[in-house]
Every structure is written in structure tokens, then in C-alpha cells.
């Protein structure tokens, strides 16, 4: 039997996040870009890559969505997902926290899921961001972002 948890959607929202979503909604639909919550090195790399793409490399084609936005009752980021041409998820490991949460919030969605830990090159088996020099994390995040850009946002525009 599958074990599940129940999460109530909330009327609460982050004010700045809601304003970001409103600004995004005033423009054309964009791909929704989600990622692992980023507690560990693998997740942090996924998170940084997602933010690089969403905020710096392809802000005209993608919009960042957070886990909290998935759990709002209405408005805000959920509406951006509903109208997104495509949903792209950067998961940091096989636990797939983001894609499982997204599927729970939107069962009919068919997101593109990328496991970014398969795309990084950390020696050994580090867990925390304190175990690796900062420039190495940045370089890995940039490398992941570049690969995602090449796959989805640089080939056919």
C-alpha cells in the first residue's frame, strides 16, 4: 500500500511572491520552472541552476515557482503553472521532492523532470554546501543551467 500525507492548501501567500506572480501573469505565458528545496549540496546546485535560468538566463521564457506557491489555494503561482506551456522540474536527487510535490498538487500535469545530480561533478560524496568550495558549487550550477538552456531554450527560439 502506498503511504501518503495530506497537505491543506492555504489562503496564505508570501506578499512578495504574490506580487511576483501578478507581474508574471500580466505578461505572456511562460514555462514554469521548479526545483528541489535545496537543503543539501545536490539540492542547492539544482536550486541555483533553476534561479539562474529563471531570473538571469531565460526570464522571458520561464517563470520560477516555489513549493509554497504549489500549496496556495488559488491565485499566485498555481495559476502560472496552469497556463504554462511546459513545466520543467530540476530535482536534486532520486528523492524527487519537487516532482512528487508537483504531481500531488497537479495530478494531470506531465512535467519535464531533470535529475541534476546526474549532471554534476563533485568528488567523493559530499552532502552539505560547507564541504565544497563555493566556486565549485557555482561552476556546477552554471553547468547544469547551461545544459538545461541548451536543451529547452536555445535550440529553437
The answer to whether the CB of 98 falls within 8 A of the CB of 35 is yes
* Among the listed residues 53, 66, 90, 97, the single contact to ligand SF4 using CB under 6 A: 97
Q: How many Cα atoms sit within 13 Å of 73 on the Cβ side?
A: 4
Residue 18 or 39 having the CB closest to ligand SF4: 39
Cell representation of residue 111:
512535467
Q: Which of residues 67-96 bind ligand SF4 (CB under 6 A)?
A: 92-93, 95
* Among the listed residues 24, 43, 52, 145, the single contact to ligand SF4 using CB under 6 A: 43
Residue 58 binding ligand SF4, by CB under 6 A = no
For binding to ligand SF4 (CB under 6 A), which residues are involved? Answer: 36-40, 42-43, 92-93, 95, 97
Amino acid at each position: 500500500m502506498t503511504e501518503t500525507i495530506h497537505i491543506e492548501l492555504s489562503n496564505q501567500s508570501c506578499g512578495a511572491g504574490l506580487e511576483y506572480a501578478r507581474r508574471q501573469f500580466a505578461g505572456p505565458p511562460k514555462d514554469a520552472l521548479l526545483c528541489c528545496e535545496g537543503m543539501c549540496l545536490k539540492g542547492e546546485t539544482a536550486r541555483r541552476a533553476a534561479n539562474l535560468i529563471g531570473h538571469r538566463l531565460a526570464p522571458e521564457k520561464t517563470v520560477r515557482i516555489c513549493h509554497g506557491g504549489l500549496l496556495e489555494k488559488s491565485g499566485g503561482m498555481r495559476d502560472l503553472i496552469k497556463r504554462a506551456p511546459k513545466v520543467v522540474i530540476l530535482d536534486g536527487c532520486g528523492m524527487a521532492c519537487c516532482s512528487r510535490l508537483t504531481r500531488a498538487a497537479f495530478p494531470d500535469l506531465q512535467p519535464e523532470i531533470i535529475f541534476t545530480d546526474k549532471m554534476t561533478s563533485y568528488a567523493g560524496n559530499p552532502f552539505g554546501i560547507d564541504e565544497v568550495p563555493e566556486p565549485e558549487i557555482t561552476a556546477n550550477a552554471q553547468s547544469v543551467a547551461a545544459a538545461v538552456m541548451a536543451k529547452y531554450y536555445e535550440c529553437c527560439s
